[in-house]
Structure 1
Amino acid sequence: MSPAVLYRQLPGEGLDTFITEFRKAAARDPFGTVFIVPTSYLAREVARRLGDGGASFVADTVTTLPGFARKVFFEHAAAETPISAADSRLILARLLAAGRYPLLAGTGAVDELATLFDVLIMRKVDYPAALGDLASAKSAEIAALFGAYLRFLDGHGLVDESTLFSRAVRLLAAGEFRTVFAYGLFEPMPLERDLLIALRESADEFHYSLPYAPNPAVFPDDGEWLHPDMVVSGDAPDSHLSHLAGLFSRREPGDCGKFIRLAERRDREGEVRAIAQEIRDLLAAGVRPDEIIVAFPDLASAVPYVEEVFPDFALPYTASGGRPLSASPLVQALLSVLAVPARCYRREDVVALMTSPYLPNAGGCELDILSREARITAGNWDGRLAALIFALEEERARPDSAQSRLAEKIASIDAARNTVRGLFADLSVLEGTKTIREHLAAYRSLLERWQAPVMPAEGEPDLREDEARDLRGFMETLAALDRVSRLFPEEKVALLEFSSMLTLLLAGTRTGRRRHGNAVRVVGVREVAHLAVPYLFVGDLVEGTMPRLTTRLPFTTDAETRRLATRSKEDILREERYHFLAALLAARTRVSLSYPAADGATPLVRSGFVDAVREAFSPETWGNSDLPDSRLAAARRNYHRKGGYDSPYDGMLGDDPALTERFGDGAVFSPTALETYADCPFRFYLERVLGLAPLPQIDPDLTAQERGALVHQIAYRFYSGWTCDGNGPVTDACYADALRRILDAGREEAERFAFETPAWAADKEHLLGSPAAGRGLLERFLRHEAEVAASRFVPHAFEVSFGLPLAPGEVDAASVPDAVVIPLGDGTIRLRGRVDRVDVMSDGRFMITDYKTGSSHHRLKDIMAGKALQLPLYLRAVETLTGREGVAGTYYTLRRGEVKNKPIFWDAGLKECFSCFPGSGRSSVGDVRDLVDTTLSWVQRYLAGIRGGCFPPRSDAGPCPAYCGFKTVCRFDALRLITAEGNPDGTD
């Protein structure tokens, strides 16, 4: 047995000496000298330092303990084949799919079982015997699957990443590695200890540096399990490092000067921005980027913030730990080829495939819009697109339709239909149940025929390098799946299962990131140990990430975990403390800690480690909210400034001849457009000036707009026919006949829709009524009509249109094609619109009614405030058309749960006429003409704002309406307007 020297040293202490001694030994015996370190990151760092120093050494002799086990295996094993973690999970998935383990099924079961099996192997747990009386049916299934898995590996000559250690112990030849340096391993697991002891017994020299300090709260392992021949203690002098090493102990607080700083930030993005600004300040002071490390407990979740923020501050950085291949946009595009047929041609999958720049298909953006209009969710694309063409052909047949526009759209849909047919024909070869190798062959053949992926011939070099690396990784994964498939040569799987298998492999395969020489290093906290870096930032120190106290093993109870004697909560806490403390000890000049106070609207609890540091060292704070080096900071400050809107960036465009020409005296306006401007000038600008429209929502059933149009059409058909036959108001005497007529009209109009969903069946029942559902909406409408028949107002005209094309059979005979010109002081406005209903009294005075099928309606106060313009403008338009006097305006609510004609304003002199209308008591006005004139004065102001180029966001601090489709591009900020006082058009 060789002499073994144990070094008990602080993390990072003595590394330079180990590197120097390794260099000497490797020069004498390059193949018999090995240097084992705890992390791949540290292995790369040691190799870099050796290379920078001009040392010659064999690359794989500087490695981690798993890397060393793999080295031993490859050099000696001939009959067995190692497999990756992703491969082992795939094998587990196939064994689970056999269906003999009902208690182990569920989402994420494969990953959890793989974790459990790794723990059982590495900790040498005799499962399930170790459970004793806690054994159960579930543990029996786990043991059966565990045994089946190990037998499968043995039967096929396979070795996974855990069983590799036991193979390496057995294969390790005496005297093969003559000089061994093992540095910084923290509490090796039992199987790892077996390998280290085997190495210690076979080597001529064995040097083992143990992370240690006289602090049992962090360092209980004294290394005596190694049975050393000599122990060398590296007690640190009384310095800030020795004070740090006592963290979490009962020692008196130490003085670390300004070495440690601590800060709280609002959220995670704000935290990363503060770190970036501090780094910019350090660089300005002459610090090199590679002298700075930024560490996070959960690197994967932090990297997206870094990728967003660091470029904004022009910071060069390199992140460790590759991302899963499944997260690559290129790989996701290739997976979408499988996802489309596997998930029954879902709309979002097809659109993703058609819009991907990595695939040869084109027209995805147009298909996105057309599929929304066709209400496609999945499945019958051809039928839905054909139905949309049929509907447009019907619309085109009308004399008032836009012939050329509709013809162009029909041609576009027909082209998209042919494209989809061709795409689906190509994808059909992937469908069905096949062996894994047959699925692979069909998939590869299709990609080859498509010449996919499409790789750009030019572009940003780093991005092209990333894409090429991702493509290589993808092809290697396909090859790996091909190799694994040979273990199941006859087993057939559905396409969805094959797609899941490939996704599982890609998720378990990580691709490296670009590495830059002189750049800020972004790493995980567990990678910082033993490094020596002048400036260290450690962020996201909140409970759940640091420490991460996950004690229970997958598929086990707390009691079972304790019985298996794997790791207790105290063990995990100690390990988390070690990684935190080892990171702090890596800093040489300064360490800056931070934590976010919230994640969005969810408060976060700062880590207990933060409190321990605060109690032990009373650290100073660092950073502030000013971020001068952020290229977004100026925009952010501009966005949050207070006061009224006053710049072109706020939509205040000023006089523009194009606006004057477009919205001048000859322009025709609708009340809806003017109400949009009154509510939000910026939305008017987006809709009416730029001509933008949100993507249509996908509704496989009746949309709100269609529901409203259906009710309007039924009411029009009923009353136009009813009055044409000489009938008056609906009363009890004629109620039965009226009900028959309106239900007939309702059934005919409902039959125009070809929906077959349960929701549409319920909608029709709600509309028409049934014995089970009771009276329908139409019957309740007539009942309400009979209740207000005593008002002396008689239904007279329906769908009175002006300024719009006239469609025969859909508008009242009083309709005119020209816009109505309404005087506005020294000017006029040309108005277009359609009045749902006009009721008249015997003396010719009239009331206008607007049907509403939604849940939100304006009130009289909204008219006075200039927010509701429709009823007053329609009333004045009908007055202009007929020469009669308007005396009232109502909203007729026709919706589930409410049928009511509610007067919004009415002439106070007609109280006896409106007493039968529910809820009319507070809406009387002394002079309806004055009310209309008030509305016209508001319209004058809005026209001046539109023609003057004033399109700011809303000027009140209330919430934006939920129905607005422009939320994603809106510049509205209620905080800015708290101190602002201004007019609706944005002027002061």
Structure 2
Amino acid sequence: MKNLVFNLYAGPPLSGKSEFLMEKMAELHKVRPFDYLFVGPSGRFVKEVADKFARLVDTTIPRGNFFVIDQLAVHLYRVLHPEQLHIHEELLSVFVADIISKLPEEELGNLSRVRTSPELIRFTIEAVREAKEEGVEEFLKTLESNPGSARLVSRVLVELEKRYGGRLFDSFDAYVNADPGKLKLSEYVRQRFGAYLFLDGFTSFSPVHTIFLSRLFPIFDEIHMTMDTVIWDARRWRSFEDMLNKYCAEMGRPLILKKRLFDSDSTKSRILKNFLNDQPATTKPDFIEIYIYKNPDEELKGISSMIKRMIVDQNVQPSEIAIVLNNFIERARDFQKKLEEYGVPVRLEGDEPLINSRAVQLVILPFKTAAYGYPPEMLMSMLDQGVGKPSAFWYEGTERQIDVEELERLATAAALYIEPPRSSLKQRFDSWFEKLEALKQSLLKKQELLNSEDEFSDALEEVQIELLECKYLIERLGELFGFLKPLESTRTRKTDMEFYLSTLRSWIDMTLRKIDSSEQQKEELISEVFALQRFKQVLDTLEVTFKAAAVERVTLDEFMTFLQTALQTESYKPSPDFSNRVEILTLENARFRQVQYKIFVDFIDGIYPSVRHNPLYPLQETHSSYQYYRKKAREQEENFYTSLKSCEKAVLAIPVATREGEPLTPSFWLRRLFPDAVNTASQMESEREEILYPMSRKELETHFNWALAQGKKVAFAEGQEFNEPSYEFPMIEVEPFDYRVKRVDVLKDILPKVISYTRIHDYRECPFKFFLKYVMGLREPWDETYDLSPLELGSIYHRALKSIYEWAEESGKKLELPLQEKRVRAIVEKLLDEFVSEHRIRGHVIVRNYLREKITSVILDYLKVESESPKSYIGSSTLTERPFRIPLKTLEEWLPKTAEKYGEIEIVGRIDRIDIFDELVATDHAPVVVSDYKRSGNSTSWEQLELYVIALLSLMDSENIPYAEKVQALYRIVEDRGKTRFSKQLRFSAEDGVFERINAKGKEGKTRELMEIDRELLEILNGIFEDAFFPKDKKCWNCRFKEVCGSTQWRVEIETAMGRVHREE
């Protein structure tokens, strides 16, 4: 028979052997364009070679003849066994997970506690692969020192063979059993691929590669292959050569080995050779630069800035730059977002597990929720994400949604999270429905308590909104639990696989339609589309495999085990293959990517190399045991070596500390690349003081606004693109953040035709706060605690004192109130029953007792002080809670200018208490005393008393209030002590229209006339309804809108003057 000519091109890196092989392939392509086969080690490498070869020959090439070695073995095995189905990686993991879950505890030993761990499944699959590659018997011998691991791997291998049952096969079966020497396969290979075989990119042959290729080679007439003499294992090469000679002899084809040696005298080649041979560097590499950063955040910004400068300043094409990450999952998205922010085209080339996709997580969320027993947090997540509408899956954007903050507020108030972690659907629904109904009743009572009270008018609006949200949540829960109802039976009963698969396919299609109709930028969602499309393929593969394995009916829990294991092991490409983009690669994918620049991020110990503890192997390796950790480190060394070969310039980025300031150590590989690695890194750290200039609009706005917020302006030197900002003080002193509503007619429609003192006070204190609360409709955030809020305490004090004085007025026991502890306690108990009994936390007996004793004690203490103080002015008759709603036009006698312009607006409020004196016992107070209860003295103001006196004037001769020329007003502080209980008092004389202020010590102070009050109120109403101007005040220290306010203060509109922005809407 004809001789087999084996052309072996051997040499160190960068010696030109791969280029020579491609030239040989190009020569053959000219005369026999379809009679050759190319085989490479990975899909990326084969694609790179095919693209490069197409450019070289400048014509069409038979891309169907370019194979990854795994694909070729599977392809040939299918020719021999078309009836069998190939098991992909994700399905192998499903089988392994199922096998481990069913193994008895005594066989797993200590591993039984983590039998469901995805990491254990991944490590077991890795061990199974190693066993099949190295030979099962040989591999198990190396695990003799760890019998538990050997027993697990052996059992999994046996069970896998049972699962395959002659119907399924994996890649290792293909390597061993796809014997190209068989006549049928030999004839197919010659007809399909011709007589010429080319191989490139291999760094070694595993035992199964050796078996497969030694049988494949004799079919061809001529073979061309490259060998990197630095990285190849001589022992394995001799084993392959011996086996090849054996098969050639059996087939009667003499082997003629033609070995051509290549050499390279470049410095780069010598440095790479020293690196792989673990020899210290002797020459400083001119193709490698070190960049030192303070921490990972500075590294992220610094590398992204460097890339943008390379593209803009040096005209480097984005496709000639690659970022290499050996911690891809942790940092890839950070670099993608930062580069996109900088306007740099970028794509992720490393694969991500499907389970990381947010869209995939949302699609499987209902199944997970049911399988885990409807945990409260998962149900809340479905509500938050808008998932769970019967027959539609998604709640569309036009339908009402519950705000996430309001959802959390309602869940906390109703104690929806305080539930057993697992429950049936009916039990969970009944419990939640009962709690939300109780909360609704509590809110209805709260609404009744707060109704028409001026001080709590804004709180009343919030309660009304919360009540509406609660009613809607109850309605929404009914739909959610109806959506989950079909899944309940699958938790305990085996169900056809078709139900699970068809349901998921339907949800995927709905999600794809939702993404397609989304108003977001398509590029933001393209990765989710890729993930969902890959998810559908995984479901198709699962269906075919389960049918082949005769698995027809499973419970939901069993199905989720299969599904989640597949999603954890199956990957998707998160970015489209757009050309001319910066690529973010894993270290493995970077091996064969030929680019001009490669930037290796986080070049520190623990990342380069990154070797994780595997519980199947002992940490202390002996010479006779399987060298797992050394092998993994060696694989990454080879990957790094190959990655350096395929680039012209390399950058090693080294952060010296974590974000928290913990020191980090550079990778020990550094000493193999630089003669004095430690000093080199230290010198670079001290010398490189890189200024990170703004590289995006967002960063420029941040720098610019930060300077302006400090009362400065920013100037850049003319003609310099990257100049450090210089700060100068502005020429004029003005407030920088003012809002003005341009459409006053719209504003009048938004704001009701009523005004209360609370709103007047808010505008006087901070017009911008008024704008946020009443124009924008933002709610003040409150922290939910077991204790009552100041608002709730104030309401209870008001209601309790009202009830007590009404009883005292009827019984004539006003002077005995301090002795009525039993009655006070009963009133407080009743109020608590109305106010907090439906609250799941405050309704607890311990909390409830604490609140009762606290409130009772405060009220009794107040009543005692009031009965003893001469300044309390307890009248012969006492009226409680007189609400008022008065059109301003009826106050024309006292507020003429305001009544003339804003007569249609009504002023609303509630006078807490009016004491009337039939006969004056003394001459130091008026016959009518108006009082307002306050929880503390912090919220008292003279203006509220003045407003209430004016309101009282309009109520006289009605509401059982006699007319009086003189009126007195004061605050009654419930929680304070001593003289400050009655800290502010007013005297008003209707005769001269003057208010006289009296402090806590009884000294007379400032006087104000009605015309002055009229002018101030007119200015406030003009500012709201006419000027619509809402400047920001500086009283922010105790404002609930502090954080919200800060986020609105950046300059986003045109500047009308340095340091001033008018935002017009």
Range of TM-score over shorter length: 0.7 to 0.9
TM-score, normalized by length of structure 1? Answer: 0.73
Worse-matched range after superposition: 402-411 or 737-746:
402-411
Query: Of 733, 738, 755, which aligns to 1:668?
Result: 755
Gaps of 5+ in 1: 799-808, 853-858, 860-867, 893-899, 910-922, 974-981
Letter in 1 for 2:169: V
Distance in 1, Cα, partners of 2:655 & 2:585: 18
Which residue is equivalent to 2:881? 813
Distance in 2, Cα, partners of 1:347 & 1:219: 56
Which residue is equivalent to 1:539? 601
8 Å CA contact retained: 1:8, 1:233: yes
Query: Of 111, 119, 123, which aligns to 1:115?
Result: 123
Query: Of 124, 128, 151, which aligns to 2:161?
Result: 151
In structure 1, the residue corresponding to 2:93 is in which secondary structure? Answer: helix
Query: Of 112, 132, 135, which aligns to 2:147?
Result: 135
Q: How many residues align?
A: 911
Distance in 1, Cα, partners of 2:24 & 2:740: 76
Deviation sequence 1:895-929 (CA, Å, 0-9, x none)? xxxxx7698787699xxxxxxxxxxxxx9889685
In structure 2, the residue corresponding to 1:16 is in which secondary structure? Answer: helix
Whether 2:24 is the aligned partner of 1:21: answer yes
Distance in 2, Cα, partners of 1:75 & 1:100: 39
Deviation at 1:346, TM superposition (A): 1.3
8 Å CA contact retained: 2:304, 2:338: no
Worse-matched range after superposition: 394-403 or 454-463:
394-403
Larger radius of gyration: 2
Whether 2:277 is the aligned partner of 1:260: answer no
Distance in 2, Cα, partners of 1:372 & 1:655: 32
Deviation at 1:41, TM superposition (A): 1.8
Distance in 1, Cα, partners of 2:515 & 2:983: 72
Whether 2:55 is the aligned partner of 1:52: answer yes
Are residues 276 and 84 of structure 1, via their aligned partners in 2, closer, same or farther at CA, if it must alter by over 3 Å? farther
In structure 2, the residue corresponding to 1:691 is in which secondary structure? Answer: coil
Are residues 195 and 651 of structure 1, via their aligned partners in 2, closer, same or farther at CA, if it must alter by over 3 Å? farther
Deviation at 1:47, TM superposition (A): 0.9
8 Å CA contact retained: 1:341, 1:427: yes
Whether 2:333 is the aligned partner of 1:304: answer yes
Distance in 2, Cα, partners of 1:209 & 1:639: 59
Whether 2:408 is the aligned partner of 1:346: answer no
8 Å CA contact retained: 1:396, 1:406: yes
In structure 2, the residue corresponding to 1:813 is in which secondary structure? Answer: strand
Deviation sequence 1:817-866 (CA, Å, 0-9, x none)? 34999999x999998666878999996699965337xxxxxx9xxxxxxx
Letter in 1 for 2:537: E
Deviation at 1:529, TM superposition (A): 2.6
Letter in 2 for 1:428: K
Q: How does 1:436-835 map to 2 (within 5 A)?
A: 436-440=496-500, 443=503, 453-454=513-514, 456=516, 470-486=531-547, 493-495=554-556, 498-499=559-560, 501-512=562-573, 513-550=575-612, 552-559=613-620, 564-568=625-629, 570-588=630-648, 590-596=649-655, 605=664, 607-608=666-667, 612=671, 615-616=676-677, 624-628=691-695, 630-644=696-710, 651-653=737-739, 658=744, 668=755, 670-671=757-758, 674=761, 678=765, 683-693=769-779, 704=789, 708=793, 711-712=796-797, 715-716=800-801, 718-724=803-809, 725-728=811-814, 733-747=819-833, 749-750=835-836, 753=838, 757=840, 759-762=841-844, 764-768=845-849, 776-781=853-858, 784-785=861-862, 792=869, 812-818=880-886
8 Å CA contact retained: 2:802, 2:880: no
In structure 2, the residue corresponding to 1:652 is in which secondary structure? Answer: strand
8 Å CA contact retained: 2:604, 2:665: yes
Query: Of 835, 851, 854, which aligns to 2:935?
Result: 851
Deviation at 1:931, TM superposition (A): 13
Query: Of 53, 67, 71, which aligns to 1:67?
Result: 71
Are residues 797 and 878 of structure 1, via their aligned partners in 2, closer, same or farther at CA, if it must alter by over 3 Å? farther
8 Å CA contact retained: 1:359, 1:453: no
Letter in 1 for 2:755: V
Deviation sequence 1:181-230 (CA, Å, 0-9, x none)? 443334555545554555567766555544454xxxx9887865456667
Worse-matched range after superposition: 476-485 or 300-309:
300-309
Deviation at 1:87, TM superposition (A): 1.1
Which residue is equivalent to 1:977? none
8 Å CA contact retained: 1:729, 1:794: no
Distance in 2, Cα, partners of 1:902 & 1:256: 82
Query: Of 389, 397, 402, which aligns to 1:368?
Result: 402
Letter in 1 for 2:400: E
Are residues 168 and 796 of structure 1, via their aligned partners in 2, closer, same or farther at CA, if it must alter by over 3 Å? farther
Whether 2:200 is the aligned partner of 1:183: answer yes
In structure 1, the residue corresponding to 2:45 is in which secondary structure? Answer: helix
Distance in 2, Cα, partners of 1:901 & 1:562: 82
Letter in 2 for 1:850: K
8 Å CA contact retained: 2:880, 2:912: no
Deviation at 1:519, TM superposition (A): 3.2
8 Å CA contact retained: 2:295, 2:657: yes
8 Å CA contact retained: 1:172, 1:199: no
Deviation sequence 1:568-591 (CA, Å, 0-9, x none)? 3x5444443443343333222x33
Distance in 1, Cα, partners of 2:218 & 2:60: 27
Which residue is equivalent to 2:95? 91
Query: Of 429, 434, 437, which aligns to 1:379?
Result: 429
Worse-matched range after superposition: 319-328 or 836-845:
836-845
Deviation at 1:349, TM superposition (A): 0.4
Gaps of 5+ in 2: 242-256, 417-427, 714-733, 953-965, 986-998, 1052-1058
Deviation sequence 1:690-747 (CA, Å, 0-9, x none)? 22347999x7999858854774466345533453334447777543444344334544
Which residue is equivalent to 1:979? none
Which residue is equivalent to 2:250? none
Deviation sequence 1:313-356 (CA, Å, 0-9, x none)? 44333432344444556545543454565563813303424599
8 Å CA contact retained: 1:730, 1:782: no
8 Å CA contact retained: 1:541, 1:594: yes
Which residue is equivalent to 2:485? 428
In structure 2, the residue corresponding to 1:262 is in which secondary structure? Answer: strand
Letter in 2 for 1:346: L
Deviation sequence 1:244-268 (CA, Å, 0-9, x none)? 5545855455344575352426544
8 Å CA contact retained: 2:205, 2:237: no
Are residues 749 and 408 of structure 1, via their aligned partners in 2, closer, same or farther at CA, if it must alter by over 3 Å? closer
Distance in 1, Cα, partners of 2:566 & 2:327: 22
Worse-matched range after superposition: 834-843 or 735-744:
834-843
Distance in 2, Cα, partners of 1:744 & 1:143: 68
Deviation at 1:15, TM superposition (A): 2.4
Deviation at 1:13, TM superposition (A): 5.0
TM-score, normalized by length of structure 2? Answer: 0.69
Distance in 2, Cα, partners of 1:493 & 1:247: 53
